[in-house]
Chain A
Amino acid sequence: MTAYIIRRLLYTIPIVFGVLLLTFVLFTLIGGDISLEIAGKGATQETIDDIRREYGLNKPLFLAWDSQFINHFKSALTFDFGRSRDRELIIDKIKRGVGPSLALTVPMFFCVVIISVSLALVVAFVRGSVWDTLAVFICVAGMSIPYLSFILFGQYFLAYKWGIFPVFFSPDLTMAQYVALPVLIGIVAGLGGNLRFYRTVMLDEMRSDYVRTAFAKGLNTRRVLFKHVLKNAMIPIITRVVLAIPFLFLGSLLLERFFGIPGLGHMMIEAIGSRDYFVINAMTYISAILFVLFNLITDICYSLVDPRISLE
């Protein structure tokens, strides 16, 4: 197991290298010299030169010890991404944004998973009945309604009209207060698709031969579902759940934007809007590392639930 993990961690080196190569090509080679853009119209040559010096754009691209190519790797490996265009250290900006983002996405995500897996078991229990059909209908309806409609409905009725929640982020609110409504909206909007996915997983399992054996033993449906089916369904559940975790760190672009939550999603949208390549570059790199890491965690989890999978 340890040997496997070490081997897998070694595999991440070429993957991270590849990601850095790609971001270098995209942001530096294709993105080109952005000093003119930063300096703005009518800037003097001196200002432009200053900016170029600050961002290292005056250095050679390759073939020097402090070329832009080498520096790109250096900054990534030391997590020292320099400053964003509003002069703040990018790493500080990220540290500041990750809290509100996680406060929003973590409760939202785990509520969605727990509710939809439990409901999926119940729906699998009554499969083929009117309740099953009704559940699928509601799921499809929920999936068909655009995310924005949920946000606008929540903000207009629950917050503005009825005053149950604050409409928008403000610094004097506690975190729990300002994430409550977006979390609720996220749960409602996410439930349809997830429930449908887990229902399919459960129904696939219920068609298996071992389920028939379990019933032939005289077990009741509850026990067959919660013992036999659930444990077998863990593989697709883990795949979906664990691989979704890296995205939790990135926050929610839409919800954070609409509720003014100062998280990473919000930061990303601003960075994209102001063409702040340095922030986008840093976030791309961090997401890649998280994704690779959670891929490994997924594989380790597989071996914990399925005795057929061994990590040797």
Chain B
Amino acid sequence: MNVRSIPKQNNGTLLSVENVSTYFFTGEDVVKAVQDVGFSIKKGKTFALVGESGCGKSVTALSIMRLVPAPQGKIVGGEIIFNRQNLLALREKDMRHVRGNEISMIFQEPMTSLNPVFTVGNQIVEAIKLHQKKTKSQAWADAVELLGKVGISDPAQRVRQYPHQMSGGMRQRIMIAMAVSCEPSLLIADEPTTALDVTIQAQILDLLDNLQEQNRMSILLITHDLSVVAERADDVAVMYASRIVEVADSQSLFAEPLHPYTQGLLKSLPRLGFSGKRLPTISGAVPDPLRFPSGCKFHPRCPIGCSDRRCQTVEPILREVEAGRYVACWYAEDRKQSSERE
């Protein structure tokens, strides 16, 4: 398996995930939530991880934070290199110094991610005081400033309120304020806008963009929403059934998707000027992680794979098909050539 050629660490790289696998052990069963996943995030850039629900995106993010729910969930292999150290080899004590300080995370559920019985100020101050040498009053002043920065009006008053006194969009802003309070170099945003309505979604994403510019941080944006990816991500990895099936820079991925799954996803997006009656869909359903199909996990839903012996028996690994483009499909090159001929 080591013949793989995922993007290697270089000066512009902030974090690289190398062959990480995370499994959940529940009684007799082993759910392979993340298998052999690798990608790297460049400094100051946005990296998007795209895929359907249950494909392992969130578990990948939690693996980076080393917050996979114990004791069932376990990172069983791989390396996560951040600042030239392997996060998976750090002692828990040192990892706590990374969390919230160098890498922080915001979650999909703003309604429940804040502790309901403490004021939002209390929760932000807690993060500041944990990682920075600041007095209580400095930390509170910081918290007020942060609330202003994330676009909350009347921050001096809001800081003393409880989460239930705020809307979902505001709570997500609070989460963001908390996450950037220690100016992390990487912010992991796990479907940050899924639970919000569309107008708020755009505001939150713009806010993330602004903060990224100000703090020059990298963002790992986890989403199932391809339209979000197209506008904001520099690089994209597509995940399917616990593996990454395609990695590319955002422009080439949208211009010319090479994996049949990515192609299916893009075809199923509504476009301006679309005149058909129904959008195309990917036939079939996401496989059960306890009973993944043999060979390429996408083969039962794939126009080529469903009748190809190799696809049905041997799982393709992620390999570089052209500079900067990685695809896990046996027919990636063929498709590339045929599209060039056209």
Binding site for B on A (CB under 8 A): 127-129, 208-210, 212-220, 228, 231-232, 234, 305-308
Contact = CB atoms under 8 A, between A and B. Distances in A.
Contact of A308 (B104, B162, B175): B162
B97 interface: yes
Contacts, number: 75
B225 interface: no
Nearest to B67: A215
Nearest to B179: A216
16 contacts: A127-B71, A210-B112, A212-B67, A213-B113, A215-B67, A216-B67, A216-B105, A218-B130, A219-B96, A219-B126, A220-B96, A228-B115, A305-B117, A306-B116, A307-B117, A308-B162
Contacts of A306: 116-117
Interface string B91-106: 0000011111100110
Contacts of B99: 215-218
B144 interface: no
Contacts of A219: 96, 100, 126, 130
Given A213-B114, A218-B96, 11 more contacts: A208-B112, A209-B113, A213-B113, A216-B105, A217-B104, A219-B100, A220-B96, A231-B115, A231-B117, A307-B162, A308-B117
Nearest to A234: B117
B123 to A, nearest CB: 8
Contacts of B104: 216-217
A232 B114 contact: no
Interface in B63-102: 65, 67, 70-72, 96-101
B112 A307 contact: no
Nearest to A228: B115
A305 B23 CA distance: 38
B178 interface: yes
Contacts of B65: 216
A207 to B, nearest CB: 8
A78 B18 CA distance: 79
Interface of B: 65, 67, 70-72, 96-101, 104-105, 107, 109, 112-118, 126-127, 130-131, 162, 164, 175, 178
Given A208-B112, A217-B127, A232 B71 contact: no
A218 B66 CA distance: 11
Contacts of A127: 71
Contacts of B97: 218
A217 B175 contact: no
A214 B96 contact: no
Nearest to A221: B92
Contacts of B112: 208-210
Nearest to B98: A218
A212 B107 contact: yes
Contacts of A307: 116-117, 162, 164
Given A210-B115, A228-B115, A307-B162, A216 B100 contact: yes
A208 B99 CA distance: 19
B177 to A, nearest CB: 12
Given A129-B71, A213-B107, A308 B130 contact: no
B101 A218 contact: yes
Nearest to B181: A217
Contacts of A214: 115
Contacts of A216: 65, 67, 99-100, 104-105, 107
Top-6 shortest CB links A-B: A128-B71, A218-B100, A217-B100, A218-B99, A210-B115, A209-B112
From A217, A219, A308, residue with most partner B Cβ within 10 Å:
A217
A220 B131 CA distance: 12
Nearest to A212: B67
B107 A217 contact: no
Contacts of A129: 71
Contact of A212 (B71, B113, B127): B113
Nearest to A232: B117
B107 A209 contact: yes
Nearest to A209: B112
Given A218-B96, A219-B96, A308-B164, A213 B115 contact: yes
Contacts of A212: 67, 107, 113
A218 B178 CA distance: 12
Contacts of B115: 210, 213-214, 228, 231-232
A218 B127 contact: yes
A150 to B, nearest CB: 33
A232 B123 CA distance: 14
Contacts of B96: 218-220
